[in-house]
Amino acid sequence: MSQSATAPLALPSKVSGEKPSIGHMEEFSANFARFLMRCNSECGELAEFNMGGQQTVLMSGPEAQEAFLKTLDQKLSRAAAYQATVPVFGKGVIFDAPPDKMKAQLKIQVDALRYQKMKNYSTVISQEVEDWVADWGDEGELDFLDEFLRLTLHTATHCLLGKDFRDQMTEEFRELYHDLEKGLQAIAFVDPYMQQPIFEARDKARARLQELIGGIIAERRANSGVVYGDALETFIAGTYADGSHLTDNEITGLVIATMFAGHHTSSGTATWTLTELARQKEYSADVLQELRALYNEDSEITFESLREIPRLERFIEEVLRLHPPLILLMRRVIEDIDYKGTLIEAGKTVAISTYGSHRNTDYFPDPERFNPNRPEPDTLFAYIPFGGGPHKCAGNAFAMMQLKAIFAALLPRYEFELVDPDETYQDDFSAIVLKPSGPCRLRYKKR
């Protein structure tokens, strides 16, 4: 995308159905994934709509999505689009940090999710899965929406903050985290600082969490030399260009930001993967066969053995095509943009929809059909569950490793069946992160 030239440029086409003052808010809130697909089919590559006063341009198709994802923060700012996260992550953290500090913080966050740390995380996750299934017995029925939220909370606190925290403080953490999540409801995107009980609870939770994490940081600084293998260790060791370390506030912010990026995305995907494994019998039989060939009764699931499980990977990738947890990615336009002769003015929001992109029939024929063997699209930026460009998901490898560890352990031991009629297992569009509508009940039985 280039900066606007002096020649007059066209403006993006406007989506029909705008209402006075609220614009398209009502239709957007009712089912934003479907609304975004309507925008694209009505207006094409660039479609402008009104989100309660905020003009927003949806960019669709691989070329426009590539331009969106590759344009740097100075022109298309995430910070300006995600200001609601500031009181949750903390003052001076990520989207509230000056650009050089934000870059350094993101690098430290990425370092905590690097390959070298993954071995320890995979051991932690496999152990958590074993503890989780230990009292399942031979058969039963569970709401897996709840189950995966709990399991991934345990794996996340364990990998992020270490074993002691996981064992002693997960319950308090769960409550604090819940209050932080409530502080990110839609209203927070209008003004996250208004007088509201949910925002007071958010601020209290944020302060308490910093107290808890500050306590561990102090302990660890006094015991330097001990290896913990968790993400907190990397956050504490990380430095800015001048050699200074992150403050307790900044470290707490990175913990919260990593939790927000990874928790619901992982639990929603795990729930959808299990649901699809239960209903796509033909393909799940292939996956089971593959897992049986890789692991016998007594073999341990290790980091090395998790590296290549191609059929399971393709299955999860197809789950992520149909049910991408982050449907809508947003940026605020800082400088006027000329996109192929159309002007997108500074001050507007631009957005891309992974959900819509994954249903583009040019790249995914018969898009609603679950088919892990469908050919990959011959163009980049059509399949974008993890985004792309400079801010592509930092937890991509972690997320895939965790999903493989879960299903490599579950599938050879149990078979799963839907409890309710097939058509009741639907995407739930009421939250920012996509998940199956609850409850998501499945029956399991030992093989």
Residue 343 or 408 having the CB closest to ligand HEM = 408
Q: How far is the CB of 265 from ligand HEM (least distance, A)?
A: 4
Q: Which is nearer to ligand HEM, 79 or 343 (CB)?
A: 79
> C-beta of 262: minimal distance to ligand HEM in Å?
3
Residue 240 · residue 99 · CB < 8 Å: no
- Positions touching ligand HEM (CB under 6 A) are 78, 106, 109, 113, 258, 261-262, 265-266, 269, 320, 325-326, 329, 385-387, 391, 393-395, 398-399
Q: 214: which DSSP letter? A: H
Reference 251, options 239, 235, 264; nearest CA is 235
* Nearer residue to ligand HEM within complex by CB, 158 or 415: 158
How many Å apart are CA 53 and CA 48, to the nearest integer?
A: 12
Report DSSP letters for 136-179, one per residue. Answer: --SEEEEEHHHHHHHHHHHHHHHHHH-HHHHHHHHHHHHHHHHH
Q: How far apart are the first and last CA of the chain?
A: 55
Helices and strands in the chain, H and E counts: 16, 14
Q: 258 or 280, CB closer to ligand HEM? A: 258
Q: Cβ-closest residue to ligand HEM?
A: 395
CB proximity list for 352: less than 8 A, separation 6 or greater: 58, 59, 60, 64, 65, 68, 69, 328, 329, 384
Indicate the residue among 216 and 257 with the shorter CB distance to ligand HEM.
257
Distance, in Å, from the CA atom of 50 to the CA atom of 55, rounded to the nearest integer, reads 5
DSSP assignment of 65-120: HHHHHHS-TTTEEHHHHTGGGHHHH-TTSGGGS-HHHHHHHHHHHHHTTSHHHHHH
At its nearest, how many Å lie between ligand HEM and the CB of residue 328? 9
Nearest distance from residue 391's CB to ligand HEM, in Å? 4
Residue 107 or 413 with smaller CB distance to ligand HEM: 107
What does the alpha-carbon distance between residue 75 and residue 216 come to, in Å, rounded to a whole number? 39
Q: For CA atoms 271, 273, 279, 284, give the dihedral sign.
A: negative
The tokens describing 442, both together, are 């499945």
By C-beta, is 98 or 140 nearer to ligand HEM?
98
Closest distance to ligand HEM from the beta carbon of 394 (Å): 4
Closer residue to ligand HEM (CB): 22 or 433: 433
Distance in Å, CB of 9 to ligand HEM, minimum: 26
Min dist. Cβ of residue 199 to ligand HEM (A): 24
Q: What is the closest distance, in whole angstroms, from the C-beta atom of residue 295 to ligand HEM in the complex?
A: 23
